[in-house]
Amino acid sequence: QEKVVIGFVTDMSSLYSDVEGKGGATAIQMAIDDFGGKALGQPIELLTADHQNKADIAASKAREWIDTQGATMIFGGTNSGTALATAKVAQEKKRVYINNGAGSSALTNEACTPYTVHYGYDTVALAKGTGGALVDEGYKTWFFLTADYAFGHALEKDTSAVVEAKGGKVLGAVRHPLNASDFSSFLLQAQSSKAQVLGLANAGGDTINSVKAAKEFGIDKTMKVAGLLVFLSDIHSLGLKNVGGLLHTTSWYWDKDDASRKFGEKYFAKMKRMPTDVQAADYSATMTYLKAVAAVKTTDADKVMEYMKKTPINDFYAKNGIIRPDGRMVHEMYLVEAKQPSESKKPWDYLKIVKKLPGDSVFTTKADSKCALWK
């Protein structure tokens, strides 16, 4: 008798733990419970582990779960390095691999596999979302503050491409080191460029620090500040006083509609925090997987993948979401703006949706894809 075992390995203690972490595990467990706790007549099991942002731990955990615990699906978490390494293991072992936390578009591009589903956001979507929407709104000249490593470069490149394609202009960029504590000097350089938009091609603490310093130096008065990768947890910890007006793209927001609010409140009851878009995606993806298993009545990865790829996803997270041949789940994204403190009416009332971005407009196109499975 086949048993569904989900292995979830993510960063539970370090840099990215607020984005997904334990909250992700909670969301997955909620999905399992809502599904009835059983699949194929057997209780569904959830294994979790902290990969401490080390690829070798993530990969060996996944490998071990598959070999010794019979994991049927691996849920990979934040941090692109670990995600790519784990995806490889899942491919080798022929197991379904779903990822929400990692941003790297490589997962469904040059490193795509038949078993990978990249469910939530990715860097291309963020870039196209924020970049495209802002140019449409008339913000034509850009200056980037870019984290000096592959991730930052990718964000900057993707966004620049969109900005230029839409007739905007990139006036320059300055590269800052990872975990730079002080951004003032970079910001002065940005300011003297006289661009309309300051694009923050960085993440986490770097984004927070740059937004904070932009406020301090009054740069937000002359430039529109756009974060390219911002999570609800970042906004929460910084406070609206520091981030009010920050534009960015997200794959989901708890206050976007009734169904989302319902999920948000249910999650809040458990965790005393509102879910991030990644945690919401964790719930939705688990549901999608379990429904597929129930439908094909087996955990066989090929069959499950086939079913998932042909069945549209409709829930509080995605409307008519489609998993493409390259593994990318295509769904609507949202350009949002952080509210000013005065606009916020209740706890966690942080964002207003500026624009809905149809999935086709934000994710990689077939023409750009380097994935061999989608040719």
Residues 137-196 that bind another protein (CB under 8 A): 148-151, 153, 174-182, 184-186, 188-189, 192
Angle of helix 21-35 versus helix 258-271 axis, rounded to 10 = 110
Which of 172, 218, 312, 341 is close enough to bind another protein by CB under 8 A?
A: 218
Q: What is the smallest separation between the CB atom of 211 and another protein, expressed in angstroms?
A: 10
Closer to another protein by CB, 153 or 319: give it.
Answer: 153
What does the alpha-carbon distance between residue 260 and residue 277 come to, in Å, rounded to a whole number? 10
Q: Within a 10 A sphere around the Cβ of 258, how many other Cβ atoms?
A: 9
Q: Within a 10 A sphere around the Cβ of 225, how many other Cβ atoms?
A: 24
Contact between 80 and another protein per CB under 8 A: yes
Site size for another protein (CB under 8 A): 73
Closer to another protein by CB, 75 or 316: give it.
Answer: 75
Binders of another protein among residues 12 to 31 (CB under 8 A) are 12-19, 22
Q: What is the smallest separation between the CB atom of 242 and another protein, expressed in angstroms?
A: 5
* Parallel/antiparallel/unpaired status of strands 96-99 and 73-76: parallel
Contact between 208 and another protein per CB under 8 A: yes
Which of 94, 140, 212, 370 is close enough to bind another protein by CB under 8 A?
A: 212
Closer to another protein by CB, 1 or 68: give it.
Answer: 68
H or E segment and range at residue 348: none
Integer CA distances (angstroms), 187 to 173, 245, 338, in order: 11, 17, 20
Long-range contacts of 204-207 (CB under 8 A, 24+ apart): 204/15, 204/16, 204/234, 205/15, 205/179, 206/147, 206/176, 206/178, 206/179, 206/180, 207/234
Q: What is the smallest separation between the CB atom of 123 and another protein, expressed in angstroms?
A: 11
User: Are the beta carbons of 309 and 323 closer than 8 angstroms?
Assistant: yes
Of 260, 292, 253, the closest CA to residue 35 belongs to 292
Integer CA distances (angstroms), 104 to 59, 77, 78, 123, 247, in order: 17, 12, 10, 6, 21
Binders of another protein among residues 84 to 143 (CB under 8 A) are 84-85, 88, 104, 106, 111
Q: Which among 79-87, 279-287, 300-308, 347-355 is the span making contact with another protein, rule CB under 8 A?
A: 79-87
Closer to another protein by CB, 288 or 369: give it.
Answer: 369
Q: What is the smallest separation between the CB atom of 350 and another protein, expressed in angstroms?
A: 13
Binders of another protein among residues 225 to 264 (CB under 8 A) are 231, 233-234, 236-239, 241-242
Count of CA atoms in the C-beta half-sphere (13 A) of 114: 12
Binders of another protein among residues 28 to 67 (CB under 8 A) are 48-50, 52-57, 59-61, 63-64, 67
Closer to another protein by CB, 55 or 354: give it.
Answer: 55
Closer to another protein by CB, 25 or 305: give it.
Answer: 25
Q: What is the smallest separation between the CB atom of 213 and another protein, expressed in angstroms?
A: 8
Structure tokens at 307: 């079913």
What does the alpha-carbon distance between residue 129 and residue 355 come to, in Å, rounded to a whole number? 9
Contact between 358 and another protein per CB under 8 A: no
Which of 100, 116, 196, 209 is close enough to bind another protein by CB under 8 A?
A: 209
Residues 6+ apart with CB under 8 A from 150: none
Q: Which among 76-84, 253-261, 314-322, 340-348 is the span making contact with another protein, rule CB under 8 A?
A: 76-84
CA angle centred on 132, ends 131 and 137, rounded to 5°: 100
Q: What is the smallest separation between the CB atom of 246 and another protein, expressed in angstroms?
A: 13
Which of 204, 244, 264, 327 is close enough to bind another protein by CB under 8 A?
A: 204
Token pair 């094909």: residue: 296
User: Are the beta carbons of 20 and 282 closer than 8 angstroms?
Assistant: yes
Closer to another protein by CB, 212 or 319: give it.
Answer: 212
